[in-house]
Amino acid sequence: MRLLTRQILPVLLTIVGAVVLWGLLVQVTDTPDYLIPSPIAVWEASWANRALLTEHLLATLQIALIGFCCGAVCGVAIAIVLGLSGTLRRATEPILIASQAIPPVVLAPILISVMGFGALPKILVVTLGAFFPIVVSASAAMRDADQNLIDLLAAMGASRLTVLRRVRLPGAVPGIVAGAKVAASYVMFSAIVAEWMGSSVGLGVYLQRSQASYRMDQLFGAVILIAALGVLLFWLASFLGDLVLARSRVSLYRKVTAS
């Protein structure tokens, strides 16, 4: 009940208020549907195309989820490697930053021309967009680990790998979770851009076709669906992150004590 009243209910009320305001503005200004459709027109178009929309939705969601998981794994792995060597971290940070300076709209055509029009280049675009926030957050958290615990293990003769496993990596869990939340908010954007550059199925393709045929009701429906998926992915990452954080806080000092 507390979750319903404090989190879910305010969101639902905000959505309902926004839809009502949208409908009133369209009705009062008498805006034609080919410019800004009414909420009812958007719903009717989305429901009429529900089978096709579901097909495109599943294709985009598959790319987004796989790319996010790959980005999370790669991000944590790179952060661990960088945590073992300060010299390596300073040498590779410019490369990591440069990889994010290239927009997906530029990177996607290059990958598609090299790898073809399959799912792999699109997953790679999402992966590249998802791993960077996790790398940055995890690396910073590892550098800022509890120095008292590190000194304690060092005094006990622990190796750098043991310090990483016992202190730095568990202490980086909040940073990993924070980076995963940020990455989750970007994966849908990266997936849509990748589909724009070359694909036969996906919400990006559905958007292009709706725009080309001047079906603004379909276009608005797809945009709302993309936004909703982005929010759901963020909530899912937050929920799983809270579970991981709760467990890591309990086990952190147990591991240090056991050493």
- Cα angle 65, 99, 192; round to 5: 35
Of the CATH numbers 3.40.50.2000, 1.10.3720.10, 3.90.1150.10, 3.30.499.10, which one belongs to the domain with range 46-258?
1.10.3720.10
The residue extents of the domains of the chain are 46-258
Least Cα distance to 162 among 175, 173, 149 occurs for 149
pTM: 0.81
Does residue 73 carry a pLDDT above 80?
yes
**% of the chain exceeding 90 in pLDDT:** 6
CA angle 26, 30, 19 (to 5 degrees): 10
The confidence score (pLDDT) of residue 58 equals: 92
Closest alpha carbon to 226 in 256, 199, 254, 190: 190
pLDDT tens track for 130-144: 888 888 888 877 777
Lowest mean pLDDT among 23-27, 119-123, 149-153, 248-252: 248-252
Using pLDDT thresholds of 50, 70 and 90, give the confidence band for residue 11: confident
* 3-state SS assignment for residue 57: helix
Interatomic CA distance for residues 176 and 167, integer angstroms: 14
Distances (CA, A) of 160 to 16, 153, 170, 172: 54, 9, 14, 16
